[in-house]
Amino acid sequence: MSIEKISLVCLFSFVFGSYFPVGGQSGSGRNQLPAQVRYFPSQEDLMIIKHSIRCFLKNQKGIYRDKMLFNIRRVLDKYGISKYNFAAFSVHRSVGPGLSFIQGRHEISDRFCPGCGSDLYMVDSPVRILSILEGIHDKVIYGCACGEIFFQFEEK
């Protein structure tokens, strides 16, 4: 092997060695990475987030909410990112209490789900609060059993 080839191999193992730490279960290699290296979440991990949210919105039980927030946080931590944008919403790592939160990108100005028209304030409404971001006006993020995620600014 020529000198050039050997140095090329070294360069590759150096580059890929730092990008793909070996011997790590998910997460264990994270701390060894330089801070500026960012992975792009895999399709599989993005599906885990979408599926967890869909499960909670369909079932609307506390255990699915916990699982959803846990799964979002686990994926964000795995890639060392604090947020990820989907087309209709974004997911964020919590700084304060809680694991993660979801932000809607579609603002509504009435009391109806833009997906299926359900009334937010009906007794048996299929709409659930996903997150509340406190501010001068609280930004309340809703998710509906139909899959729609949206938000509204509300008086305290």
Binding site for Zn ion (CB under 5 A): 113, 115-116, 118, 144, 146, 148
Side chain identity, residue 58: K
* Nearer to Zn ion (CB atom), residue 74 or residue 106: 106
In order of 52, 57, 93, the CA distances from 70 in angstroms are 9, 15, 10
* Nearer to Zn ion (CB atom), residue 45 or residue 148: 148
Shortest distance (Å) from residue 113 CB to Zn ion: 3
C-alpha 149, offset from chain centre? 13
Shortest distance (Å) from residue 144 CB to Zn ion: 3
Shortest distance (Å) from residue 118 CB to Zn ion: 5
* Nearer to Zn ion (CB atom), residue 104 or residue 115: 115
Q: Which runs of consecutive H residues, i.e. helices, occur in 20-151?
A: 43-59, 62-79
For residues 139 and 132, the answer to whether their CB atoms sit within 8 Å is yes
CB burial readout 8-24, b (16+ within 10 A) else e:
eeeeeeeeeeeeeeeee
Shortest distance (Å) from residue 67 CB to Zn ion: 21
Q: How far apart are CA 46 and CA 44, in angstroms?
A: 5
* Nearer to Zn ion (CB atom), residue 99 or residue 108: 108
Shortest distance (Å) from residue 49 CB to Zn ion: 20
